[in-house]
Amino acid sequence: MKTRYLVYRSKGSQDLICTTDATDKASAYKTARRNGFILPAGAWAFREPEAHFWANVDRRGPDECWLWNVSVSNNGYGNTRHEKRQQGSHRVAWLLERGPIPKGLLVLHRCDVRACCNPSHLFLGTLADNMADMVAKGRQSHANTNPVRGSAHVQAKLVEEDIPHIRRLSASGISSQNIANIFGVSRTAVYQIVERKRWKHVA
Ligand SMILES: [Zn+2]
């Protein structure tokens, strides 16, 4: 059965090249070419119902975060209605781009931005993977800012760049203990940073 596809210039672009009827993505590209449209190498096709979803996403460059534009809940996740139920917008992005989400798995963010719907920032994992990923990222950010710090130091010293990161993690509901683990500092230190009793000068 054929459905309408909308073909865009590239994955991150809002630049519509053509609409065409086809059975799947690959044949949408073929049909478009047969109809005389010149498709750039990175052209990207959406089924028409999906196009309504992507219209609410601020699609940017392939490596940037694509934020859900409407209805973001307190916990930071985008909200949308898909197949007759409320779902996180990142989950719908996965469903549309990558296919079904296996039972027991979560759609996780590489970028830690919960309202982000860029399929290349999403991956499947368990709750345990999620925690391990956060720890790995915490260590990595330390390694980037100061190679001496990190897991080798029980009481690591924070740098200014860590402060907004810590406040953001806390605001997104991650416990002080987990944040403390990630950054290798005490829970009290995390509390004081979040409550702005320390590092007050950092926004
Ligand atoms: Zn992102």
Q: What is the 3-state secondary structure (H, E, C) of 180-194?
A: HHHHCCCHHHHHHHH
For ligand 1, the distance from its centroid to the CA atom of residue 32, given in whole angstroms, is: 30
For ligand 1, the distance from its centroid to the CA atom of residue 169, given in whole angstroms, is: 15
Please give the sequence-ordered ranges of beta strands (E in DSSP) within the chain, or none if there are none.
Answer: 3-8, 16-22, 44-47, 57-58, 67-68, 79-82, 85-88, 106-109, 122-125
For ligand 1, the distance from its centroid to the CA atom of residue 47, given in whole angstroms, is: 23
List residues, by chain if needed, whose CB lies under 5 Å from ion ligand 1. Answer: 65, 111, 113, 116, 118, 121
* Amino acid 95: pLDDT: 93
The answer to whether the CB of 108 falls within 8 A of the CB of 114 is no
Q: Domain-by-domain residue ranges, the chain?
A: 1-48, 56-125, 128-194
* Amino acid 78: pLDDT: 86
Residues 6+ apart with CB under 8 A from 51: 6
For ligand 1, the distance from its centroid to the CA atom of residue 152, given in whole angstroms, is: 29
- Among 29-38, 64-73, 79-88, 194-203, the minimum mean pLDDT is found in 64-73
pLDDT digits (tens, 9 = 90+) for 152-199: 333 457 778 778 878 887 887 767 876 676 666 788 998 999 999 988
What SS3 class is residue 110?
Answer: coil
User: pLDDT grade, residue 84 (50/70/90)?
Assistant: confident
For ligand 1, the distance from its centroid to the CA atom of residue 117, given in whole angstroms, is: 7
The Cβ of residue 46 has, within 10 Å, a number of other Cβ atoms equal to 22
pLDDT digits (tens, 9 = 90+) for 118-128: 999 999 988 88
Distance CA 9, CA 15 (A): 6
What SS3 class is residue 113?
Answer: coil
* Amino acid 73: pLDDT: 73
- Average pLDDT estimate for 97-112: 88
Residue 99 has pLDDT above 80, yes or no: yes
Distance CA 63, CA 3 (A): 29
Helices (H), 98-175: 127-145, 162-171
Residues 6+ apart with CB under 8 A from 152: none
Residue 151 has pLDDT above 60, yes or no: no
